[in-house]
Amino acid sequence: MPATGFSNPDRSQHRRILIAGGHEHIRGGLEIFIARARTCLGIDAHCFTETPGAAPGSLGRYIRALRSFRRALPLCDIVWLQYGSAFDLAYLVVAKLSGKKIAVTPHLGGGWRSMRHGAVRTLCNRLLMVADAVFTLHQTQPQALRFPARLRRRCRVMGTFLPRELLEGETLSRHPAGPLKLVHVARLSAAKGSFAFLDVCETLRRRGVAVEAVMVGPGDDAVRGALTADIDRRGLAVTLLGALPPADLIAMLRRQDVLVNLSLQDAYPLTVLEALLCGVVPVVASLPGTRELAADAPAIALVTGQDTEAAADRILAIDWAGFGSSAEVLRRKFGWTALARRYADAFTGLTANPPRNVCSPSIKATAS
């Protein structure tokens, strides 16, 4: 595992940093965040945490990943943990017992299973108190995750990483011609709004709007089978794709008109930001993170839950000439130069502070 830091020579005072998180053979939002963060900040060292799921062999991969992480710790000074599952917090404990400074970035939403279970949520929050800092992706994330007040005081809003090519480009005005092109991008499931997307397509057709739609993202065989059957039964013009590489996803988004993601789970969906920068109007479920996005970018249309009639209303009321200013606001907010400076300052602050005592009162309370 190579020694790491920031590749920018102006940041050479930074200590060696190890990013921990994600899965080696999955290309989801968490893994994309890690890849962009490493590129923007010039961080070389990364350990996958391989948090276990239902797939065969996942527990064994998790244990092997934890052992690899322990072997990498002597080569770093700071661990930056990407927290996407309660299982990731084992890495937090191991790092602190090894005397490392650690920052944690949560990547889960209030609708995730570990956040809905009160006892698990309390345990996770107490373990997070061991971290030296919590780097949140957006302003309302601590409230969405129901962090207690003392944990919120340790949070620092850092922001997320969008594709550099979108931030450096220009969003052109779009005036749809022909059938309205709808797109749904998610890990396909009911909670992510995949079946609600089909309801929106059918609602628009019933109102006399010609629609061509595409669904992009991974999904298990049962979900994909149910979606395919539903598309055939309704006779909808919907193409079901799998996951796309980032460059292909951006190219596809630029050919669409409206993103419809009525997810009940997403904390701060990057797809919404990327779609807007590609000139696609997002229609999304109203959650703390999406409401925060819409405050910056009014072109984002919000719907309560998975109200498909309301989603169709929002689509038919889109002001196609009015979303260019929203894209420019996002470019200023998420520019990589500003993000690199913000993270660099935060890591400098970690190394300047004395180590925290691992035996915090919150951990003692959990043990009891």
Q: Do 292 and 183 sit in the same domain of this protein?
A: yes
Residue 153 lies in a domain: yes
**SS3 category, 96:** helix
My answer on whether 155 and 209 are in the same domain is no
DSSP letters spanning 7-71: SSGGGTTPPPEEEE-S-TT--SHHHHHHHHHHHHHT--EEE------SSTTHHHHHHHHHHHHHH
Task: Report residue 300 as tokens.
Answer: 């984002």
- Residue 263 identity (one-letter amino acid): S
Pair of tokens at residue 57: 């062999």
Measured between alpha carbons, how far is 207 from 209 in angstroms, rounded to an integer?
Answer: 6
CA distance 320 to 305: 24
Confidence of residue 202 (pLDDT cuts 50, 70, 90): very high
Q: Give the mean pLDDT of 93-112.
A: 87
Bridge partners of 155, per DSSP, are: 134
**Distance in angstroms (rounded) separating the CA atoms of residues 276 and 154:** 32
Pair (98, 204) in one structural domain = no
Q: How far apart are CA 155 and CA 145, in angstroms?
A: 12
Say if 3 falls within a structural domain. no
* Cβ 266 vs Cβ 181: under 8 Å: no
In which band, very low, low, confident or very high, does the pLDDT at 192 lie, cut at 50, 70 and 90? very high
Domain hosting 196: range is 166-331
Mean pLDDT value across the chain: 86
Out of 29-38, 82-91, 110-119, 336-345, least confident range:
110-119
Evaluate whether 183 touches 216 at the Cβ level (below 8 Å).
Answer: yes
Query: What is the band of 351 on the pLDDT scale with cuts at 50, 70, 90?
Result: confident
pTM (predicted TM-score): 0.77
CATH number at residue 86: 3.40.50.2000
Q: Is 106 left (phi over 0), alpha (psi -120 to 50) or beta?
A: beta
Question: Do 282 and 234 sit in the same domain of this protein?
Answer: yes
Instruction: Kindly state whether residues 355 and 237 are assigned to the same domain.
Output: no
Residue with tokens 């004395």: 354
Task: Give yes or no: residues 191 and 234 share one domain.
Answer: yes
Residue 268 and residue 176 share a domain: yes
**pLDDT for position 268:** 80
β-sheet bridge partners, residue 18: 45, 79
Structural domain tally of the chain?
2
Please indicate, yes or no, whether residues 217 and 304 belong to a single structural domain of this protein. Answer: yes
- Looking at residues 197-204, what average pLDDT do you find? 98
Token digits for 11? 């940041």
The span from the CA of 156 to the CA of 204, in Å, is 42
**Angle 234-197-237 from CA coordinates, rounded to 5°:** 45
**Predicted local distance difference test score (pLDDT) of residue 111:** 53
Residues 244 and 212 in one domain: yes
Q: Which two tokens stand for residue 334?
A: 């998420």
Give burial (CB, 10 Å; 0-12/13-18/19+) of 245: exposed
Same domain for 262 and 347, yes or no, is no
State residue 8's pLDDT score: 43
User: Could you tell me which of 217, 166, 193 has the C-alpha nearest to residue 333?
Assistant: 166
CA 192, CA 187: separation in Å to the nearest integer?
A: 7
Specify whether 248 is located in the same domain as 101.
no
Q: Are residues 203 and 287 in the same domain?
A: yes
Counting residues of the chain whose pLDDT is more than 90, the rounded percentage is 63
